[in-house]
Amino acid sequence: MPKLIAHDGTELAYHLRGKGEPLICLPGGPMRATAYLGDLGGLDAHRQLVLLDLRGTGDSAAPADPGTYRCDRHVDDVEALREHLGLHRIDVLAHSASANLATLYAARYPQRIATLVLVTPGVRAVGIQPGRRQPTRNRRRDPASRAVGRRGAARGPDRGVEDSLCL
Protein backbone atom coordinates (compact mmCIF):
# COMPACT_ATOMS: atom_id res chain seq x y z
CA MET A 1 0.00 0.00 0.00
CA PRO A 2 1.34 3.44 -0.92
CA LYS A 3 2.17 6.04 1.71
CA LEU A 4 3.04 9.71 1.89
CA ILE A 5 4.37 12.05 4.52
CA ALA A 6 2.02 14.84 5.63
CA HIS A 7 3.32 18.37 6.17
CA ASP A 8 3.72 17.72 9.92
CA GLY A 9 5.67 14.49 9.35
CA THR A 10 2.80 12.04 9.96
CA GLU A 11 2.90 9.01 7.67
CA LEU A 12 -0.41 8.61 5.83
CA ALA A 13 -1.53 5.53 3.92
CA TYR A 14 -3.87 5.33 0.99
CA HIS A 15 -5.24 2.45 -1.04
CA LEU A 16 -5.76 2.30 -4.80
CA ARG A 17 -8.62 0.39 -6.41
CA GLY A 18 -9.53 0.24 -10.05
CA LYS A 19 -8.23 2.10 -13.06
CA GLY A 20 -9.08 5.36 -14.69
CA GLU A 21 -9.22 8.95 -13.57
CA PRO A 22 -8.42 9.27 -9.84
CA LEU A 23 -11.21 9.94 -7.34
CA ILE A 24 -10.07 10.92 -3.84
CA CYS A 25 -12.36 9.15 -1.33
CA LEU A 26 -12.66 10.31 2.27
CA PRO A 27 -14.26 8.00 4.86
CA GLY A 28 -17.07 9.08 7.17
CA GLY A 29 -17.31 8.71 10.89
CA PRO A 30 -14.69 9.66 13.42
CA MET A 31 -11.61 7.46 13.40
CA ARG A 32 -12.91 5.21 10.65
CA ALA A 33 -10.55 3.70 8.06
CA THR A 34 -11.52 3.55 4.38
CA ALA A 35 -11.83 -0.26 4.26
CA TYR A 36 -15.63 -0.10 4.71
CA LEU A 37 -15.97 1.86 1.44
CA GLY A 38 -14.92 -1.22 -0.52
CA ASP A 39 -15.20 -0.60 -4.25
CA LEU A 40 -18.05 1.90 -3.75
CA GLY A 41 -20.59 -0.32 -5.43
CA GLY A 42 -18.47 -1.01 -8.49
CA LEU A 43 -17.29 2.55 -9.07
CA ASP A 44 -13.75 1.21 -9.31
CA ALA A 45 -14.70 -0.21 -12.73
CA HIS A 46 -14.82 3.37 -14.02
CA ARG A 47 -12.48 5.36 -11.77
CA GLN A 48 -9.32 4.78 -9.80
CA LEU A 49 -10.40 5.10 -6.18
CA VAL A 50 -7.78 6.75 -3.99
CA LEU A 51 -8.91 5.79 -0.48
CA LEU A 52 -7.12 7.91 2.13
CA ASP A 53 -6.82 6.47 5.64
CA LEU A 54 -7.00 9.60 7.75
CA ARG A 55 -4.33 10.08 10.41
CA GLY A 56 -4.51 7.52 13.19
CA THR A 57 -6.87 5.23 11.25
CA GLY A 58 -6.35 2.13 9.16
CA ASP A 59 -2.77 1.94 7.95
CA SER A 60 -1.94 5.60 8.67
CA ALA A 61 0.22 6.50 11.65
CA ALA A 62 -1.03 8.38 14.68
CA PRO A 63 0.26 11.96 14.72
CA ALA A 64 2.73 13.17 17.33
CA ASP A 65 0.35 16.04 18.17
CA PRO A 66 -3.17 14.84 19.09
CA GLY A 67 -4.46 18.34 18.26
CA THR A 68 -4.02 17.49 14.57
CA TYR A 69 -6.95 15.08 14.72
CA ARG A 70 -9.24 18.11 14.30
CA CYS A 71 -11.18 18.17 11.05
CA ASP A 72 -9.74 21.50 9.93
CA ARG A 73 -6.22 20.11 10.36
CA HIS A 74 -6.99 17.16 8.04
CA VAL A 75 -7.36 19.64 5.18
CA ASP A 76 -3.56 19.78 4.94
CA ASP A 77 -3.48 15.97 4.61
CA VAL A 78 -5.81 16.06 1.61
CA GLU A 79 -3.63 18.76 0.05
CA ALA A 80 -0.50 16.68 0.75
CA LEU A 81 -2.17 13.72 -1.01
CA ARG A 82 -3.04 15.88 -4.02
CA GLU A 83 0.55 17.11 -4.23
CA HIS A 84 1.92 13.57 -3.74
CA LEU A 85 -0.21 12.28 -6.61
CA GLY A 86 0.93 15.15 -8.84
CA LEU A 87 -2.61 16.26 -9.66
CA HIS A 88 -3.44 19.87 -10.49
CA ARG A 89 -7.15 19.47 -9.61
CA ILE A 90 -8.94 16.63 -7.87
CA ASP A 91 -12.32 14.99 -7.78
CA VAL A 92 -13.33 14.34 -4.17
CA LEU A 93 -15.99 12.01 -2.81
CA ALA A 94 -16.67 12.38 0.91
CA HIS A 95 -18.97 10.22 2.97
CA SER A 96 -20.85 11.34 6.08
CA ALA A 97 -18.68 13.26 8.56
CA SER A 98 -15.91 13.67 5.99
CA ALA A 99 -18.20 16.07 4.14
CA ASN A 100 -16.97 18.57 6.73
CA LEU A 101 -13.38 17.86 5.73
CA ALA A 102 -14.14 18.01 2.00
CA THR A 103 -16.07 21.26 2.36
CA LEU A 104 -13.29 22.85 4.38
CA TYR A 105 -10.78 21.67 1.77
CA ALA A 106 -12.87 23.16 -1.04
CA ALA A 107 -13.12 26.45 0.86
CA ARG A 108 -9.37 26.65 1.42
CA TYR A 109 -8.33 25.35 -2.02
CA PRO A 110 -11.19 26.11 -4.43
CA GLN A 111 -8.81 26.17 -7.39
CA ARG A 112 -7.84 22.54 -6.63
CA ILE A 113 -11.37 21.08 -6.74
CA ALA A 114 -12.68 19.76 -10.05
CA THR A 115 -15.69 17.90 -8.62
CA LEU A 116 -17.01 17.58 -5.08
CA VAL A 117 -19.45 14.80 -4.16
CA LEU A 118 -20.91 14.72 -0.64
CA VAL A 119 -22.68 11.46 0.24
CA THR A 120 -25.01 11.66 3.28
CA PRO A 121 -23.08 14.71 4.43
CA GLY A 122 -22.54 16.04 7.88
CA VAL A 123 -21.92 19.77 7.60
CA ARG A 124 -21.59 21.12 11.14
CA ALA A 125 -18.05 22.36 10.50
CA VAL A 126 -19.36 24.90 8.01
CA GLY A 127 -22.05 26.22 10.33
CA ILE A 128 -25.06 24.27 9.12
CA GLN A 129 -26.92 22.67 12.00
CA PRO A 130 -29.26 19.79 11.22
CA GLY A 131 -32.71 20.20 12.63
CA ARG A 132 -36.39 19.93 12.07
CA ARG A 133 -37.65 21.19 8.75
CA GLN A 134 -39.18 24.64 9.13
CA PRO A 135 -41.13 26.49 6.41
CA THR A 136 -39.79 29.96 5.69
CA ARG A 137 -43.17 31.70 6.11
CA ASN A 138 -46.47 31.23 7.84
CA ARG A 139 -48.67 30.18 4.93
CA ARG A 140 -51.94 31.28 6.51
CA ARG A 141 -50.88 34.87 7.14
CA ASP A 142 -48.92 35.58 3.98
CA PRO A 143 -51.06 36.31 0.85
CA ALA A 144 -48.25 35.29 -1.53
CA SER A 145 -47.91 31.95 0.23
CA ARG A 146 -51.65 31.35 0.07
CA ALA A 147 -51.67 32.14 -3.66
CA VAL A 148 -48.79 29.74 -4.35
CA GLY A 149 -50.49 27.14 -2.18
CA ARG A 150 -53.75 27.44 -4.15
CA ARG A 151 -51.92 27.08 -7.47
CA GLY A 152 -50.02 24.11 -6.06
CA ALA A 153 -53.24 22.49 -4.84
CA ALA A 154 -54.73 22.84 -8.33
CA ARG A 155 -51.71 21.02 -9.83
CA GLY A 156 -51.61 18.23 -7.30
CA PRO A 157 -49.45 17.32 -4.31
CA ASP A 158 -47.07 20.31 -4.63
CA ARG A 159 -47.80 22.41 -1.56
CA GLY A 160 -46.01 25.56 -2.63
CA VAL A 161 -42.48 26.90 -2.96
CA GLU A 162 -42.04 27.85 0.70
CA ASP A 163 -42.59 24.27 1.83
CA SER A 164 -39.44 23.17 0.00
CA LEU A 165 -37.27 25.80 1.66
CA CYS A 166 -35.77 25.11 5.06
CA LEU A 167 -34.00 27.46 7.44
Task: Pick 67 or 166 by higher pLDDT.
Answer: 67
Are 23 and 36 part of one and the same domain?
yes
Q: Where in the sequence is the domain holding 161, given as residue range(s)?
A: 131-167
Record the pTM: 0.74
CB 135 within 8 A of CB 159: no
Q: What was the pLDDT predicted at 149?
A: 43
pLDDT digits (tens, 9 = 90+) for 4-51: 999 999 999 999 999 999 999 999 877 788 999 999 999 999 999 999
Is residue 94 located within the same domain as residue 70?
A: yes
Q: Examine the domain organization and report whether 52 and 109 are in the same domain.
A: yes
Is the CB of residue 5 less than 8 Å from the CB of residue 70? no
pLDDT for 119 beyond 70: yes
